[in-house]
Amino acid sequence: MATGVAIQRPERWDNPFSPDMSESEVDRIMDLDMFRDMDTSKFSETVSLRDIIRNDTRIRHYKLGDIIVRTGDYGTTAFLPISGHVRVILPPSELSETLLGRSELPKKGFLAALGQLWRNPKLPEVRDPDRYAAGRDTGTRTAEGAEKLTFLRDVPAILEKFNTKKIGPGVLFGEIAALTRAARTTTIFAEDDVELVEIRRQGIRDIRQRVDSFRENVDRLYRENSLKNNLMETPLFHHLDDGVLDKIADATLFETYGDFDWHVSYNRYLESPPHERLAMEPVIVHEGDYPDGLLIIASGSARVSYRVNNGQKTIRYIGPGALFGFEEIAQNWLEGTDKIIPMQHTLRAVGYTDILRVPTSIIETHVLPDLPKFMFPPPAERRPAEVFHPFEERGRFKRAKAIPKIDTDTLEVLVEHRFIKGTSTMLIDLDRCVRCDACVDACAKGHNNNPRFIRHGRTFDHYMVANACMHCVDPVCMIGCPTGAIHRNAEGGQVVINDDTCIGCATCATNCPYDNIRMVEVRDEHGVFIVDGETKKPIVKATKCDLCIDQPGGPACQRACPHDALQRFDMEDRPPLARWLNRR
């Protein structure tokens, strides 16, 4: 009998946040007000408070004008000032995209777009070196450890123009976005020389689980700043007044399932057998459970399935804003206690999922009595086809309607490979595609003679998911960009890269689990590689699909296909996807 290959089991502390954290620095952080009064007995021997500080924190230094947190960025860390002061830009005002180190991409006119056919340089990835010169409103500097930071050049003018709030030592900020992996809601920069403790999400999570006062404070901030807004965006609650919403918010629980860093182990997950992959998805609700609460997907994705013999059949996937369990709760309320039905399906976290759980008693007391009749769902017993319910139509009420069915095998591929996270996933019908590469050529014409996608990718049946940026609803590529070069476009939400502020660190390319970001060496107009003045090494930039954001008419790849073989889909908008997959 084979004994197997012996390896070292991965441990919680295998990858410390700062490998150079010294014991004296740990002592110094432990002595800060936030940590000094924590009851260390609440922590286990294997995950002590000192272990968390040693492995999940690091000390950072910022100078006047350095941007610490940038609105719209995705972050997984919180910050605790030790000395110095920071400034928060108070909503609704916000710094311009250029001040944040991002790009402003005006659309090309028809003639300019047409001119690309003969005016583009013959060589790929040609840049004007002057575009990288200093002198703009923001700049980049090299901090300790060769880290690049973006800084504001004229802080006094910003303080005069914008409404800001000063934060000093001992005030934690950024913890809500870190825990929920939501986009940062404001910009924070250093007002003077600032020393901070940066705490990554794992440490915040462990402290929150063990220290009641810390958890209560974080939960209070979340309820005050985010939770009520999330509830107000749910059509099911649109008919409620502020007083009732406050009661619902007070009773709502925040839960997290799955691996926050799922993208790190994505390839290993795909190599596992199907039954092991399903076992890796934490169960949020089991089929047959009592419906003890309405679940709202706050972030991430989830798989809905039911038992078939000894396995599970996937019937749909749901994302942010979707509800789970409402049919069962509503039907039990209508029919009384004589005929209680359990949950009809199992819900699993795909990658990671944040859940808002509103207790059933709250829904029965405050929501159902005054809910318009047309908002009630059909009976909850298992339905063979997908149905959109009125409360799932964001911002408007519509009667439930059947949509074309997506077969189970296709659903399994889309869910297990996480393609469901895309808002603009590229699908190619291989039965119609003649491999003419018109899509690739069109993309190259608008992007420096170098296409931003590869006509290659995972296939299922006669479809291919091409290696093109999907512009994910949860863009993990944006996590950790030191200059904010990769960001969401403020108007359309496309994930784009500012070539001017990209430093070629490849953090975004490493984070992307789909290999949809590529690093390229850039040239000047004469074809000579642009090199770093100090190291003499070629300058490298990150490139990816930007959905032809500056081109008239949208994605050129889709428009160029002569056989209607290529389409882009928001995977949350399932009717168009289902119709396309079922076409003849």
Residues 6+ apart with CB under 8 A from 291: 325, 328, 329, 332, 342, 343, 360
Candidates 484, 476, 485; CA nearest to 542 is 485
For residue 277, count CB atoms less than 10 angstroms from its CB and return exposed for 0-12, middle for 13-18, buried for 19 or more: middle
For residue 401, what are the β-bridge partners?
Answer: 388
Residue 126, phi then psi, degrees to nearest 5: -85, 135
* Helix ranges (DSSP H) in 162-226: 175-180, 201-210, 212-222
DSSP conformational letter for 414 = H
- Percentages of the chain per state (helix, strand, coil), in multiples of 5: 30, 25, 45
Closest by Cα among 72, 189, 68, 149 to 489 = 72
Selection from 418, 414, 450 nearest residue 515 by Cα: 418
CB atoms within 10 A of CB 493: 15
d(CA 581, CA 432): 12
Map tokens 């709202």 to a residue. 296
21: its two tokens: 């954290």
What is the CATH class of 234-393?
mainly beta
Task: Compute φ and ψ for 20, nearest 5 degrees.
Answer: -95, 10
Distances (CA, A) of 23 to 18, 41, 429, 464, 521: 12, 20, 58, 52, 42
The whole-number pLDDT of residue 547 equals 93
Q: Is residue 521 within 8 Å of 529, Cβ to Cβ?
A: yes
Q: Which two tokens stand for residue 354?
A: 């944040």
pLDDT at 5: 47
Report CA torsion sign: 503, 505, 511, 517.
Answer: positive
pTM to 2 decimals? 0.80
The C-alpha angle 171, 174, 177, rounded to 5 degrees, equals: 150
Distance CA 253, CA 405 (A): 33
Domain boundaries for CATH 2.60.120.10 within the chain: 24-95+162-209, 234-393
Q: Choose among 55, 317, 75: nearest CA to 180.
A: 75
Helix, coil or strand: residue 388:
strand
pLDDT of residue 12: 59
User: Into which CATH architecture does domain 414-581 fall?
Assistant: 2-Layer Sandwich (3.30)
**CATH no. for 24-95+162-209:** 2.60.120.10
Neighbouring C-beta atoms of residue 553, cutoff 10 Å:
11
Residues of the chain with CATH 3.30.70.20: 414-581
What DSSP designation does 58 have? E
Q: What is the largest CA-CA distance in the chain?
A: 81
Q: Are 378 and 387 in contact (CB under 8 A)?
A: yes
- The per-residue pLDDT for range 208-265, each reduced to its tens digit, is 989 999 988 888 888 877 888 888 888 899 889 989 999 999 999 988 898 878 888 8
pLDDT at residue 1, rounded to an integer? 43
Token digits of residue 180: 């929920």
In degrees and rounded to multiples of 5, residue 549 shows phi and psi of: -60, -25
Q: How far apart are CA 274 and CA 219, in angstroms?
A: 37
pLDDT at 525: 85
Omega before 124 cis (within 30°)? no
What's the average pLDDT block by block, 10 residues per block, for the chain (584 residues)?
Answer: 46 75 95 92 91 94 93 89 96 84 68 62 82 66 73 90 94 88 88 95 90 88 81 88 91 88 86 85 94 93 90 88 93 86 94 93 94 82 51 43 76 91 95 95 89 93 95 89 85 87 91 94 89 87 92 88 95 90 84
**Cβ atoms within 10 Å, residue 574:** 20
- Supply the pLDDT for residue 217: 86
CA distance 329 to 145: 55
